[in-house]
Structure 1
Amino acid sequence: MGVTARGTKRSSDNVKASAKKAKASNGKSVKKAESDSEESESESESSSESSSEDELDSSSDDLDSSEGESSGDELDKDEIKIDNAGEEANDEDNDEDEENKDNKPANPNKQTSQEQHAEQKKLLQERKLQRKSGVEVQHIKSLWERLRVKNPPPPKEIRDKLCDEIWKHSKDVFRDLVLKHDASRVVQTLVKYSSKERRLAITEALKTHYYELATSSYGKYLLVKLLHYGSKESKDIILSELHGKLRKLMRHREGAYVVEDLYTLYSTAEQKKQMIREFWGSEYAVFKDSGKGKSIKEVCDESSDKRTIIARNLSGTIQASVEKGSTGFQILHAAMKEYVQIINEGETREFIELLHEQFAELIHTPEGCEVACTLIAKANAKERKLIVRSLKEHAINLIKNEYGNLVVITLFLTVDDTVLVSKSFGNEFDEKFTELVVDKYARRPFLYLLNGLDGRFFSPLVQKELKHYIELSQETSKKPLENRRKELLDKFAPVFYKNIIQHINSILAENVGSQFVSELFLNSDLEDSEKRTQALNSIIETFKNDDGALLEKPFSVRLLKSLIQGGKWDSKQKKLVKLEVSGIGSEFAENFYNEIIKDSEGLTQWVENNNTSFIVVSIYESLENKKSTFFKNLKSIKKQVRAAAKDDENKGAQLLVKLAEF
């Protein structure tokens, strides 16, 4: 009955308030409501109080929700019926309760989820067939499903047959296929397995649509496939159509990847120059030959207005591309390389501000390396500090990279704050030193610290490039170049000595590692220290415990000869130049002989070996004290030395006979 028939406890005050409100509009409803209120008063003495009809509705909603009897819409309808129809609403509510108790479905025609899924799938299939070329596309896709099988792949005869059939059905509907994610893959497979003529036909069929393909999430893959498998003629068609749109594509999330592949993989040197000129501005995008044969610097020197326009266009394209996340693209690096050749001081400050956190993304290309080194050279002290900090976490990848190692050397060449540089990179290099010192590229910054831009380790081209950065840094770097290098060398020397002491076997096992050790101990800029003495002793200890493997390697013999002779060979003077360096020369020779060769028997073995006989010659030339044990032992084995000299391959023994006049 009434409200209590739905199991809801309501206060009599609220029901009376509701009844009074209803009375103003309908007298009959008032009487019914009063009847209901009297009936509910006796049953709801402990119910919570509510102050309005809204709270009454809310209470009903919460209760219905907890009991799972009906939805919110049904509740609203029931309450309207309570106000207007009284007992009829109660009867309907009771019927609903009984229906819910029996768990009978509200809709006897309701489908299962499996039936609904089947119906949706059928509807989707019908819609696909109703689209333009829908029947052809579905048939082509069924053929492609057989063609794309990889395990096992179809035999060539079947593959060619399937390609012919797909070609037959698709040659007139390419444009309907290429922008659909699954159908685009059909055309990609066709491009991969088709003949040169068919690929060209596909390229021709898609003319005027290449910009649309380049900016499509699915079409871009087909465009890259056409570039990869297409002929020179096909590539020229695509590049010609995209000419004038490259700046716009570089600002597009999908298009930027197509332009990058086009530049790095599929363009000739002349086409690359043309693509970069397009970034200069509209004049060069519309007219292909505008500015051809001239560098950007030459064009800008013709007119200050041209310089302003070109700089503005390049800056806008670069900034938009960086903000889109394309900083690592080589074509963007090429555009940056053009830009840094013409920027003024104010533009330099803005450009460094834009890139200083993303310097690590420039180092893997020659153009990016040149941009990074130029900006480092032109940066002020504060900007260099930001750049060094941004590169710190990439230190290992930076120094091991073919171009990145030049960025490290440029930092060594230009940054006055040597404490910052050593602290930023010292620990990282220390942890991987044995790996770095034997790496083709990573060792070069260390060799610079030891010997400067020595021609033995830096080609004339690299020297010219690095000297250019030194010139650019004249206005912003204050310390003399040599002072900066020696300061850094003093800070990195402990790292060198520490790793030689701990990992000498790994370092001496490689040719370049042995060469680095030789350059380190022949360096006259380093002062004597306890670590240096320990490192030299570790070398002697290594050869003392060697089973002969090291001494069979020519680079090990060269290392020992250098340390024993205590000097470097001057190719211009054609003679050995002695160095005033502690721990090497006669001192090292004496220690080496006493610790390793020791006596006449050991000396005989070293003389008879074709490789080690040269080390004995070096000891003979280095020791100044003729009363040394070495000379006494040598005199005692004259016969053995002369016998060894009879071997035509033992050049060392032959030279020793002449020196000792045996």
Structure 2
Amino acid sequence: MAPATKKNSKRSAAQDSKPAKKARISVESSEDELDQLSEASSSDDDLDEIISGDDEDEGDEKKENEDAEVKEGEGSSNHGEQRKLLKERKLQRSSGSEIQQIKNVWEKLRVKTPPLPKAIREKLCDEIWNLSKDNFSDLILKHDASRIVQTLIKYSSRERREEIVNALKGKYYVLATSSYGKYLLVKLLHYGTKNSRQVIINELHGNLRKLMRHREGAYVVEDLFVLYATNEQRQQMIREFWGSEYAVFRDEHSNLTIEEVCASSVEKRNIISRNLLGTITASVEKGSTGFQILHAAMREFVKIADAKQTTEMIDLLHEQFAELVHTPEGADVACTLLSKANAKERKLILRSLKDHAAKLITNEHGNMVFINILMCVDDTVLVYKTFGPAIKDVLGDFITDKYGRRPFIYILLGLSGRYFSPIIKKELERYYEMASKTSKKDPHARRMELMDKFSNIYLNTVGKEYDSILVNNIGTQFISEMLTSDEFYNQLDEKNVAKYQEILSSIAIYFKGDVTEENHPIHDAFSPRLLKSLISGGKWNNKEKKVEPFEHITELGVPFAAKFYDEIIDSTNLLVWINEPDSSFTIVALYETLNSADEGKQFVKDLKAVKKEITTEATNKGAQLLLKLMK
């Protein structure tokens, strides 16, 4: 679970806990990954002994292996005869002598260390091209011969690649369903132009539903959709899943959404939903639940699904729910199903996600699913029991993660505009609107219940790991929001209030030391903001342009400011704090809070004593502001 993020790294969280599935064909991480994948079934030393890819070759190889077994005991003297016999059989096959000649040149071309000079590489490519251009049909489906064409594609010019694409017209479906040809096809997609990719898509069009049910073809369609297709081509591919009519008459439906088509006819809705559900069910049963193109088809289905069909989808997917949440399409499907599910169905879904909490929460898309769980599931006890144990030990990592902190910020602040963009807020609110028929609790009451249950984990984590969290901007923001949340403080019992006070003391001590030292935490840009939020004693109201005092928190404001000055700053280092640009704004915050308070008399007295020694350099705007306030 997760994102990303390159596209070929998107895998479900479930894959780490399940037996490894067949690797998707992908070339983004390395140009040579396809070469490695296609070579996986044999070593280079044994390459000349492996010829496979069609029934005739497989029969020959089987016979050769039987001959070898019979002669195994006859001593090493017969080994040379066996190799000679094998070589003769290869040469007798279709284009055998030409293929052997091509392979001899290819062995020189494929050398990587040391890299071949460009001129030599081009010369070898020309030799292979001249020998193979009339024999592609004999090359593309054989294991080692297919790799020859792959290498030629990799090192050839754009024009020659176009010629290869045109030479293979009419064979792309065969390539997509071939154990070895699929590597060649993906190589063409990777190195091909926009036009050549369109040629391949056009030829495969009409067969995508069949390919999605094919063991080899499904991986080709997935990579085509995720890595190489344009947005327009993706839409074309998805519409094919609606049914035959939309595959044959693709241009007539190119600008229509599935909702528009289904709104025009109940019969069309039934046909499309039946086709989509059939493809989805067959693909899930084949083990393709983690495929992004299948998630896109699922998203089309849930847009038009009625209550009964939604239940069918949940029954089909609840055990593999974790395989949905790592793509934007899959996360949308997961959120929609969660929102429309009843209490019993939600319990099944949460159970399937239980072991994947960490990757669910830190994944860009899975994160949305977890927030939707917090927003929609009324049984907050179930939510806490399901995810609390997994969160407890790694919350420190979550709150310092760009995506991982968002669910825990939601518990503190709701969908605050400071942390949730308008697009994200709109999506989450759309899911909650769907859930209004099955979720009965008031959203604020549900959030308060979650806050009460998670507060102990929050305080324990921050209390133990504050020093490692405070070196991180994101983590410091979270601590600031937690400590200055009136609602959070109001939920605390006496024991947790004591933990809260210990955290405040630890944070104050964290800033003790010589601020002129380069590694002092006050030099982190986010540290003065944290101290100001604790010293000010309230939340800044941007509309009113003033600080609104806390309603419940009594430890912040004047008490914290006075304690901070007594324990961290005194008359001996006050001037240093003022003259350092990074720390000067902390003194400004202390002055604004303590100037008129009885607890601040000593501070004001010490400040007046050093006033004449305050430097007002252009870089020290804090000191300039302090002198202005003291006038």
Same fold (TM over 0.5): yes
What is the aligned partner in structure 1 of residue 12 from structure 2? Answer: none
Following the alignment from structure 1 to structure 2, what is the Cα–Cα distance between the partners of residues 206 and 618?
Answer: 73
Conservation of the 8 A alpha-carbon contact between 1:422 and 1:491: yes
Is residue 263 of structure 1 aligned with residue 225 of structure 2? yes
SS at match of 1:544: coil
The amino acid that maps onto 2:372 is T
Alignment counterpart, residue 454 of structure 1, candidates 416, 430, 435? 416
Following the alignment from structure 2 to structure 1, what is the Cα–Cα distance between the partners of residues 603 and 340?
Answer: 63
The amino acid that maps onto 1:313 is N
Measured against aligned partners, the alpha-carbon deviations of 1:214-272 in whole angstroms (never above 9, x if no partner) come to: 00000000001111111222112111111100000011010011111111122111111
How much does 1:186 deviate?
Answer: 0.5
The amino acid that maps onto 1:635 is K
What is the aligned partner in structure 1 of residue 613 from structure 2? Answer: 643
What is the aligned partner in structure 2 of residue 618 from structure 1? Answer: 589
Conservation of the 8 A alpha-carbon contact between 1:328 and 1:362: yes
What is the aligned partner in structure 2 of residue 235 from structure 1? Answer: 197
Aligned pairs for 1:354-373 within 5 A: 354-373=316-335
How much does 1:622 deviate?
Answer: 2.0
Measured against aligned partners, the alpha-carbon deviations of 1:259-316 in whole angstroms (never above 9, x if no partner) come to: 1111112211111111000000010111221322111011001101100000010011
Following the alignment from structure 2 to structure 1, what is the Cα–Cα distance between the partners of residues 361 and 81?
Answer: 61
Following the alignment from structure 2 to structure 1, what is the Cα–Cα distance between the partners of residues 449 and 201?
Answer: 52
The amino acid that maps onto 2:299 is K
Is residue 214 of structure 1 aligned with residue 184 of structure 2? no
Following the alignment from structure 2 to structure 1, what is the Cα–Cα distance between the partners of residues 334 and 176?
Answer: 30
SS at match of 1:551: helix
Is residue 224 of structure 1 aligned with residue 186 of structure 2? yes
The amino acid that maps onto 2:173 is Y
How much does 1:453 deviate?
Answer: 0.3
Bigger CA drift: 543-552 or 183-192? 543-552
What is the aligned partner in structure 1 of residue 565 from structure 2? Answer: 593
Following the alignment from structure 1 to structure 2, what is the Cα–Cα distance between the partners of residues 344 and 626?
Answer: 64
The amino acid that maps onto 1:164 is D
How much does 1:448 deviate?
Answer: 0.5
Following the alignment from structure 2 to structure 1, what is the Cα–Cα distance between the partners of residues 116 and 567?
Answer: 71
The amino acid that maps onto 2:286 is K
Distance 1:250 1:632, change over 3 A: same
Conservation of the 8 A alpha-carbon contact between 2:591 and 2:604: no
Is residue 535 of structure 1 aligned with residue 507 of structure 2? no
Aligned pairs for 1:328-343 within 5 A: 328-343=290-305
What is the aligned partner in structure 2 of residue 564 from structure 1? Answer: 535
Conservation of the 8 A alpha-carbon contact between 2:565 and 2:603: no
Conservation of the 8 A alpha-carbon contact between 2:276 and 2:297: yes
Distance 1:636 1:210, change over 3 A: closer
Aligned pairs for 1:166-177 within 5 A: 166-177=128-139
Following the alignment from structure 2 to structure 1, what is the Cα–Cα distance between the partners of residues 500 and 78?
Answer: 81
How much does 1:146 deviate?
Answer: 1.5
Is residue 135 of structure 1 aligned with residue 135 of structure 2? no
What is the aligned partner in structure 1 of residue 556 from structure 2? Answer: 584
Distance 1:334 1:482, change over 3 A: same
Following the alignment from structure 1 to structure 2, what is the Cα–Cα distance between the partners of residues 561 and 148?
Answer: 63
Bigger CA drift: 404-413 or 539-548? 539-548
Higher relative contact order (CA 8 A, sep 6+): 2
Bigger CA drift: 331-340 or 563-572? 563-572
Alignment counterpart, residue 480 of structure 2, candidates 518, 525, 535? 518
The amino acid that maps onto 2:390 is E
Following the alignment from structure 1 to structure 2, what is the Cα–Cα distance between the partners of residues 636 and 251?
Answer: 79
Measured against aligned partners, the alpha-carbon deviations of 1:364-393 in whole angstroms (never above 9, x if no partner) come to: 211111111111111111111111121111
Conservation of the 8 A alpha-carbon contact between 2:594 and 2:601: no
The amino acid that maps onto 2:170 is T
The amino acid that maps onto 1:239 is I
How much does 1:489 deviate?
Answer: 1.0
Aligned pairs for 1:485-524 within 5 A: 485-524=447-486
Conservation of the 8 A alpha-carbon contact between 2:415 and 2:425: yes
SS at match of 2:215: coil
Bigger CA drift: 615-624 or 161-170? 615-624
Following the alignment from structure 2 to structure 1, what is the Cα–Cα distance between the partners of residues 607 and 186?
Answer: 75
Following the alignment from structure 1 to structure 2, what is the Cα–Cα distance between the partners of residues 402 and 392?
Answer: 18
What is the aligned partner in structure 1 of residue 269 from structure 2? Answer: 307
Following the alignment from structure 1 to structure 2, what is the Cα–Cα distance between the partners of residues 242 and 126?
Answer: 38
SS at match of 2:113: coil
Conservation of the 8 A alpha-carbon contact between 1:603 and 1:633: no
Alignment counterpart, residue 406 of structure 1, candidates 358, 368, 381? 368
Distance 1:640 1:204, change over 3 A: same
What is the aligned partner in structure 1 of residue 625 from structure 2? Answer: 655
Distance 1:474 1:153, change over 3 A: same
SS at match of 1:416: coil
The amino acid that maps onto 1:487 is E
Following the alignment from structure 2 to structure 1, what is the Cα–Cα distance between the partners of residues 607 and 199?
Answer: 82
The amino acid that maps onto 2:277 is S
- Count how many residue pairs are aligned between Structure 1 and Structure 2: 551
How much does 1:610 deviate?
Answer: 2.3
The amino acid that maps onto 2:245 is E
Distance 1:132 1:539, change over 3 A: same
Q: Normalising by the residue count of structure 1, what TM-score does the alignment of the two structures yield?
A: 0.80
What is the aligned partner in structure 1 of residue 108 from structure 2? Answer: 146
Is residue 391 of structure 1 aligned with residue 357 of structure 2? no
Greater Cα radius of gyration, structure 1 or 2: 1
The amino acid that maps onto 1:621 is E
The amino acid that maps onto 2:555 is G
The amino acid that maps onto 1:300 is C
Measured against aligned partners, the alpha-carbon deviations of 1:85-134 in whole angstroms (never above 9, x if no partner) come to: xxxxxxxxxxxxxxxxxxxxxxxx99714344433333322222121111
Following the alignment from structure 2 to structure 1, what is the Cα–Cα distance between the partners of residues 161 and 597?
Answer: 83
Conservation of the 8 A alpha-carbon contact between 1:617 and 1:652: yes
The amino acid that maps onto 1:192 is K
Following the alignment from structure 2 to structure 1, what is the Cα–Cα distance between the partners of residues 604 and 585?
Answer: 14
Following the alignment from structure 2 to structure 1, what is the Cα–Cα distance between the partners of residues 302 and 242?
Answer: 13
How much does 1:400 deviate?
Answer: 0.9
Following the alignment from structure 2 to structure 1, what is the Cα–Cα distance between the partners of residues 382 and 545?
Answer: 42
SS at match of 1:576: strand
Conservation of the 8 A alpha-carbon contact between 1:311 and 1:343: yes
Measured against aligned partners, the alpha-carbon deviations of 1:174-218 in whole angstroms (never above 9, x if no partner) come to: 011000001000010111111122111111111111100000000
Following the alignment from structure 2 to structure 1, what is the Cα–Cα distance between the partners of residues 123 and 184?
Answer: 22
Following the alignment from structure 2 to structure 1, what is the Cα–Cα distance between the partners of residues 581 and 545?
Answer: 24
SS at match of 1:568: strand
SS at match of 2:604: helix
Following the alignment from structure 2 to structure 1, what is the Cα–Cα distance between the partners of residues 246 and 358?
Answer: 41
SS at match of 1:341: helix
What is the aligned partner in structure 1 of residue 512 from structure 2? Answer: 544
Conservation of the 8 A alpha-carbon contact between 1:412 and 1:485: yes
Bigger CA drift: 633-642 or 215-224? 633-642
How much does 1:570 deviate?
Answer: 2.0
Bigger CA drift: 518-527 or 564-573? 564-573
Is residue 294 of structure 1 aligned with residue 256 of structure 2? yes
Distance 1:477 1:546, change over 3 A: farther
The amino acid that maps onto 1:176 is D
The amino acid that maps onto 1:591 is K
SS at match of 2:522: coil
The amino acid that maps onto 1:566 is G
Unaligned runs of 5+ in 1: 1-108
Following the alignment from structure 1 to structure 2, what is the Cα–Cα distance between the partners of residues 633 and 460?
Answer: 44
Is residue 605 of structure 1 aligned with residue 576 of structure 2? yes
Unaligned runs of 5+ in 2: 1-70
Give identity over the alignment, percent: 57
Following the alignment from structure 2 to structure 1, what is the Cα–Cα distance between the partners of residues 87 and 525?
Answer: 75
Alignment counterpart, residue 306 of structure 2, candidates 344, 351, 365? 344
Distance 1:389 1:624, change over 3 A: farther
The amino acid that maps onto 2:620 is N
